[in-house]
Amino acid sequence: MDIQKVVAELKEDKGGRIILMVADGLGGLPLQPGGPTELEAAKTPNLDRLASRGVCGLMTPIKPGITPGSGPGHLGLFGYDPLKYVIGRGVLEATGIGFAVGPDDIAIRCNFCTLDGEGRIIDRRAGRIPTEESAALVQKLKAIRIPGVEVFVEPVKEHRFVVVFRAPGLGANVADTDPQQVGVPPLDPQAHDEPSQRTAQIARQFITEARKIIGQHPKANGLTMRGFSKRPDLPSYREAYGLKAAAIAVYPMYKGLASLVGMDLLGQPSTLDEEIDVLEKAWKETDYDFFFVHFKYTDSRGEDGDFDAKVKMIEQFDSVIPRVEALRPDVLIVTGDHSTPAKLKSHSWHPVPTLLVADTCRPDGATEFSERACLHGGLGHFEAMYLMPLALAHAGRLAKFGA
Amino acid sequence: MDIQKVVAELKEDKGGRIILMVADGLGGLPLQPGGPTELEAAKTPNLDRLASRGVCGLMTPIKPGITPGSGPGHLGLFGYDPLKYVIGRGVLEATGIGFAVGPDDIAIRCNFCTLDGEGRIIDRRAGRIPTEESAALVQKLKAIRIPGVEVFVEPVKEHRFVVVFRAPGLGANVADTDPQQVGVPPLDPQAHDEPSQRTAQIARQFITEARKIIGQHPKANGLTMRGFSKRPDLPSYREAYGLKAAAIAVYPMYKGLASLVGMDLLGQPSTLDEEIDVLEKAWKETDYDFFFVHFKYTDSRGEDGDFDAKVKMIEQFDSVIPRVEALRPDVLIVTGDHSTPAKLKSHSWHPVPTLLVADTCRPDGATEFSERACLHGGLGHFEAMYLMPLALAHAGRLAKFGA
C-alpha cells in the first residue's frame, strides 16, 4: 500500500486550513567554500521568526541525487510520487502555456522545421523563427479540421508549438516523428498499440493538411511531432486529501500543474504582492482548505547564475510573510520545489529547506530559516511526497491508521 | 527484497540478549511554545545515563504524518511493515481481550442492537447495556453449536462482544452486517469470495440461533457483525529473527499483539514493578533471547490530556531502569510505539524518542533522553521497522550481507 492510498483512506473532510508557500528553486549553494547559501545570505527576519515557531527540515524532491524538472518537482511537492506519475512532454508543454489538458486529450510538442525539395529536413528548428512569425503560422493551422476529433493548435516560443487532439479513446503511444537528425525526412507517426492507431492516423492527416498550408514558407515549411501524451491519471486534491484546493501563481506552467491535480486557479496576479492580495481576499471570502502560492523569481535568478539577485528575490519573498502570517493559517509551509543554486545556474538535486508552522508541530530549536538550520530540524530529511501527509496531520485532517 | 527478508536470511541463532522497554505513547509536545515536552519535563536521571552510554534517535512509527493505532504501532516496533501486514478489526478486538486468535480462526466484532417488531434496528448499540448484563447474554450465546466449526463467544465491554469461528479453510472476506444506520434490518452476511461463502453461512446460522436465545431481551434482542478477519500471516520472531522471545505486559491488547508474532507471555503482572519482577526472574531462569516489556500508563495519561500525570508516569518508568540495567542486557532499547502528546489528548504522528545501549553502539554525545537530544542522535530519523535489525546487529546476531 503506498502512502497516498493510506492518506486517501485516512483523510477527513474537516480540519484546519493550509497555506503552502513555494519559492521556486529555493535551495542554494555557497559560491565560496565556507560561504553562505543564497538563503543564508538573505536577510529574512520573517522566515527566521517562522522557523523559531515551527519545525524545519530538508526535503528531497525525488530521490537523493536526482534533479527534478518543474513537472516532477511540483508533483512531488503536491504529494504524488514523481516516479510513478509521469507527465508526458506534450502535456507539460501544453500545461506550460496554460492549456487545460482534458482527459480525452492527446497533447503533442511540435517543431516547425525546414524541408528541402525532397522532403528531407535541413533545419530541425526552422532557423528558430521569431515567435511572432511562428504564431502567425499557428494561427493558419487552426483552420485544420479532422472529422470526429477536435483539434487545437497553440503557439509556444520560436519554432515550438503545441497540438492537441481531443476525442474519446485515443491512445498516446505514438512514436516521435522527429528523426533527431538532418538529411532525412520526418518519420511517419507510428502507433505502438491498438488505441493509438487512430491517433497516428489523425496525426498523419494533420501533417498532410499542415503541409498544404505552410508548404510555401521559406523556413517553416514542415513540422515534427514529439512527446505524444495524455494527462496522467492523478487523483485530485479532493480525492487524495479531501481538500478544496486553490492555486495562486503568475506563470502558466505552475497554474497548469496545479490544475492537473484539481486545484482551482485564483485571480490573474502578475507580481508577488498581487498574489498575496489574491490570497488575502480568497482567505476571507472563500472556503478553500488549501492554498498553493507560487513565487517564480528565486528560480529565475538562480538559473541566471546571479547569486545577489537571487538573495534579493528571497528577501522580497520574506517581506510578504507577515501578510500571510496575519491570516493565521492552521498550517503554514514554506519550501521550494527543488534547489536552483546560482553557482550551478540550473536546477539541482540538493535537498530543499522547508519549514512548517502549526500549533501541533514539535519545535526543534531552529532560530533561522537556512540550509544549515534545516539540516538539524525536527522534520529531518524527508522525501517531498511526505510533505502533504505532514501538512494534513498537522492540520488535524488525518484519522488514526488502524485501531 | 524487503528488509525483513534480508534480516531473516542474515539472522544467526546466537548472540546477545535484548530487552525492549516500551513506554506506550512516549513522545510528546510542549504545552507552550519553547516549553518542554513531557519527557523533557520529567526528571529521568536513569534514562539520561542510558542516553549518555548509548545512541539516540527519532523513530517514525509508520510514515511521516501517519498516526498509528496500537496494532500498527506495535507491528512496526516489532519490525513488521505495518502497511503490508494489516490486523483486521475482528482480530484486534479478540486480541485486545486476550483471545489467542489461531490460524484457522475468523474473528468478528459484534454489537448487541435493539430491533423493533419488524426486525429493523432502532438502537445500534442496544442502549449501551452494562457490561455485566452483556456478559450474561454472551454466556448464553456460548451454547450455540454449529456442525463442523468451533464457535467462541467472548464479552468485551457494554454492547460489544467477539465471535470467533474456528475451522480449516474459512475465508474472511465477508461484508459487515451493520448497516451503519437505524430504521433498517441488519444486513445478511455476504461473502465476496469463494472460501468466504461458508463463513457467511456459518455467520447466518449463528445469527439465527442467537436470535432465538436473545430475542426476548428488551434491549439486546439483535446483533450485528463487523470486521470479519483472519490473523495476519506474520513470520514469528523465531522465523524472522531467530529469537526466542517473551513479552511482559499488563494489558491483554499488548499481550495479544506480542503473541501474534510468536512471543511467549510471561507472568501475570499488574504493575510496572511486578513486570520487572517477572523480567528479573525470567532473565535468570529462562533462555529467552528477547524480552518485550510494555508500560501502558504514559499513553493513558497522554490520552487524558494530563501533562503532569504523564510526566510522573515517565518518572515512574525511569525509576525501574536501574533494575533493568543491572541485568546487563547486551542490547537495551527504550522507546514508544508512537507519541501521545497530552496537548493533543491522542496518539500522534510525531516521531518517538528512542535510545539503544550496547557495547557495540556508537555513542553520539547525547547526555539526556529527550526529543531534543534524540533529534541530533546517532540513529538519526528512522522508520520503526528498522529498529529490530538495529537491535539484532548490536546484539551480534546478524551476519554480513554478501561476501
HEC sequence for chain B: CCHHHHHHHHECCCCCCEEEEEECCEECCCCCCCCCCHHHHCCCHHHHHHHHHCEEEEEECCCCCCCECHHHHHHHHCCCCCCCCCCCHHHHHHHHCCCCCCCCEEEEEEEEEEECCCCCEEECCHHHCCHHHHHHHHHHHCCCCECCEEEEEEECCCCEEEEEEECCCCCCCECCCCCCCCCCCCCCCCECCCHHHHHHHHHHHHHHHHHHHHCCCCCCCEEEEEEEECCCCCCCHHHHHCCCEEEECCCHHHHHHHHHCCCEECCCCCCHHHHHHHHHHHHHHCCCCEEEEEECHHHHHHHHCCHHHHHHHHHHHHHCHHHHHCCCCCEEEEECCCECCCCCCCCECCCEEEEEEECCCCCCCCCCCCHHHHHCCCCEEEEHHHHHHHHHHHCCCECCCCC
**CA-CA distance, B274 to B268, in Å (whole number)?**
8
**B283 and B216 within one domain:** no
User: Which of A1, A2, A362 to mutate: most B Cβ within 10 Å?
Assistant: A362
Size of interface A-B (CB pairs under 8 A): 90
Answer yes or no: is A127 within a domain.
Answer: yes
Closest Cα in chain A, distance from residue B339 (Å):
11
Residue range A355-397, pLDDT digits in tens: 999 999 999 999 999 999 999 999 999 999 999 999 999 999 9
> In A, which residues are within 8 Å of B64 by CB distance?
379, 382, 386, 389-390
What pLDDT does B397 receive?
Answer: 98
**A369 and A225 within one domain:** no
Answer yes or no: is B79 within a domain.
Answer: yes
Cα A309 from chain centroid (whole Å): 23
Confidence of residue B98 (pLDDT cuts 50, 70, 90): confident
Chain A residue nearest residue B341, CA to CA: A360
Across chain A, what does the average pLDDT equal? 96
**Cβ neighbours, 10 Å, residue B393:** 19
Range of the domain at B377: 3-86+235-394
Closest Cα in chain B, distance from residue A354 (Å):
14
The residues, any chain, with a CB within 8 Å of residue B69's CB and separated by 6 or more, are A400, A401, A402, A403, B347
Across chain B, what does the average pLDDT equal? 95
Answer yes or no: is A141 within a domain.
Answer: yes
3-state secondary structure of A243: coil
* Mean pLDDT calculated for residue range A223-230: 96
What pLDDT does A394 receive?
Answer: 98
3-state secondary structure of A151: strand
Residue range A247-257, pLDDT digits in tens: 999 988 899 89
**Cβ neighbours, 10 Å, residue A102:** 12
**CA-CA distance, A400 to A11, in Å (whole number)?**
9
Residue range A5-30, pLDDT digits in tens: 999 999 999 999 999 999 999 999 99
Closest Cα in chain A, distance from residue B373 (Å):
10
What pLDDT does A252 receive?
Answer: 85
What pLDDT does A275 receive?
Answer: 98
> Which one of A382, A391, A393 has the shortest CB-CB distance to B67?
A393
3-state secondary structure of A340: coil
| pLDDT surpassing 80 at residue B127 | yes
* Mean pLDDT calculated for residue range A152-177: 96
What pLDDT does B86 receive?
Answer: 87
Domain end call among A190, A211, A229: A229
What pLDDT does A402 receive?
Answer: 87
Residue range B227-241, pLDDT digits in tens: 999 999 899 999 999
User: Which of B32, B63, B67, B352 to mutate: most A Cβ within 10 Å?
Assistant: B63
**B302 and B388 within one domain:** yes
Contact B361/B334 with Cβ under 8 angstroms?
no
CB contact under 8 A, A392 and B347: no
Domain end call among B177, B205, B229: B229
CB contact under 8 A, A402 and B350: no
What pLDDT does B218 receive?
Answer: 94
Four-CA torsion A199, A204, A205, A207, nearest 10 degrees: 120
Answer yes or no: is A64 within a domain.
Answer: yes
What pLDDT does A64 receive?
Answer: 97
**A140 and A68 within one domain:** no
**B387 and B241 within one domain:** yes
Q: Could you tell me the three cell numbers for B53?
A: 552510554
Q: What CATH number is given to the structural domain containing A259?
A: 3.40.720.10
CB contact under 8 A, A389 and B64: yes
Residue range A291-309, pLDDT digits in tens: 999 999 999 999 999 999 9
**B388 and B239 within one domain:** yes
| pLDDT surpassing 70 at residue B1 | no
Predicted ipTM of the assembly: 0.88
Burial of A193 per CB tally in 10 Å (0-12, 13-18, 19+): exposed
3-state secondary structure of A59: strand
Quickly tell me which residue has 449501551 as its cell: B128
Answer yes or no: is B400 within a domain.
Answer: no
**CA-CA distance, A142 to A169, in Å (whole number)?**
23
Q: Please tell me the least confidently modeled range out of A43-47, A206-210, B255-259, B320-324.
A: B255-259
Chain A residue nearest residue B29, CA to CA: A362
Q: Could you tell me the three cell numbers for B173?
A: 472476506
**CA-CA distance, B401 to B389, in Å (whole number)?**
12
CA B292, B298, B303 angle in degrees (round to 5)?
Answer: 125
Contact B356/B380 with Cβ under 8 angstroms?
no
| pLDDT surpassing 70 at residue A113 | yes
CB contact under 8 A, B64 and A386: yes
* Mean pLDDT calculated for residue range A181-193: 96
> Which one of A398, A399, A402 has the shortest CB-CB distance to B87?
A402
What pLDDT does A100 receive?
Answer: 87
What is the count of structural domains for chain A?
2
**A140 and A83 within one domain:** no
Residue range B373-403, pLDDT digits in tens: 999 999 999 999 999 999 999 999 999 999 8
CB contact under 8 A, B69 and A398: no
Q: In which order are the strands placed within the sheet that holds B352-358? A: B264-265, B245-248, B290-295, B18-23, B331-335, B352-358, B55-60, B380-383
**B252 and B363 within one domain:** yes
Residue range B144-196, pLDDT digits in tens: 999 999 999 999 989 999 999 999 999 999 999 999 899 999 999 999 999 99
Q: What are phi and psi of A153, to 5 degrees?
A: -130, 125
Q: Could you tell me the three cell numbers for B96?
A: 485486545
Answer yes or no: is B303 within a domain.
Answer: yes
3-state secondary structure A163-185: EEEECCCCCCCECCCCCCCCCCC
The sign one gets for the Cα dihedral B169, B174, B177, B178 is positive
Burial of B233 per CB tally in 10 Å (0-12, 13-18, 19+): exposed
3-state secondary structure of A85: coil
If phi > 0 it is left, if psi is from -120 to 50 it is alpha, else beta; for residue B59 that is beta
**A299 and A183 within one domain:** no
Answer yes or no: is A150 within a domain.
Answer: yes
What pLDDT does A360 receive?
Answer: 97
**A361 and A247 within one domain:** yes
3-state secondary structure of A382: strand
Give A19's strand partners.
A291, A332
**CA-CA distance, A392 to A400, in Å (whole number)?**
12
Domain end call among B212, B229, B246: B229
CB contact under 8 A, A402 and B349: no
**What crossing angle do the helices spanning B70-77 and B252-260 adopt, rounded to 10°?**
50
Answer yes or no: is B108 within a domain.
Answer: yes
Chain A residue nearest residue B84, CA to CA: A1
**A363 and A259 within one domain:** yes
**B388 and B245 within one domain:** yes
